């Protein structure tokens, strides 16, 4: 679509500034708040944006497992009116994700198993860009 209408080009660069800090909550728990600012410097003006957001991660870890759960929210404002929808796009993304890691499963030293799941909802003022995303995964790894 960027070939037929240059305002829809998606070539560009994003710049992200993120800061976070882990706050210990006793021996096995921590909370990590994070804030981020992102600039999408995209050739197609209707796809250039500024966004800001944050997340909060709770982590529990002991000898046999680690559980990390994150909730997040991001607000994005686009620079120019979209040439097809005749509106300047604004959107909010909300999400939650969790990863469980099992260390040395069934006594296998240096192995680990990950189970992951995530859900995100994008709410845009242009209905075409609304979305709901779900993800699940599992992996096995070995620590050298």
Separation between Cα atoms, residue 131 and residue 32, nearest integer Å: 27
pLDDT band at 2 (very low <50, low <70, confident <90, very high): low
- What are the residues whose beta carbons fall under 8 Å from the beta carbon of 54, sequence distance 6 or more? 33, 34, 35, 36, 72, 73
CB atoms within 10 A of CB 15: 9
22 has pLDDT over 80: yes
| Number of other residues whose CB lies within 10 A of the CB of residue 140 | 11
Specify the pLDDT at position 84: 86
* pLDDT mean over 108-131: 97
Distance CA 33, CA 53 (A): 11
pLDDT digits (tens, 9 = 90+) for 29-85: 999 999 999 999 988 778 899 999 999 999 999 999 999 999 999 999 999 898 889
pLDDT, one tens digit per residue, over 121-140 is 999 999 999 999 999 999 99
């Amino acid at each position: 679509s960027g070939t037929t209408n240059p305002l829809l080009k998606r070539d560009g660069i994003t710049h992200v500034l993120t800061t976070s800090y882990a706050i210990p909550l006793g021996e096995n728990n921590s909370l990590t708040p994070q804030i981020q600012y992102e600039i999408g410097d995209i050739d197609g003006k209707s796809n250039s944006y500024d966004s800001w957001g944050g997340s909060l991660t709770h982590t529990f870890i002991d000898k046999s497992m680690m559980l990390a759960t994150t909730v997040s929210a991001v607000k994005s404002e686009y620079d120019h009116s979209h040439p097809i929808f005749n509106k300047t796009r604004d959107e909010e993304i909300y999400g939650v994700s969790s990863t469980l890691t099992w260390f040395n499963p069934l006594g296998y030293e240096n192995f680990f198993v990950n189970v992951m799941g995530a859900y995100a909802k994008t709410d845009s003022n242009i209905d075409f860009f609304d979305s709901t995303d779900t993800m699940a995964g599992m992996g096995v790894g070995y620590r050298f």
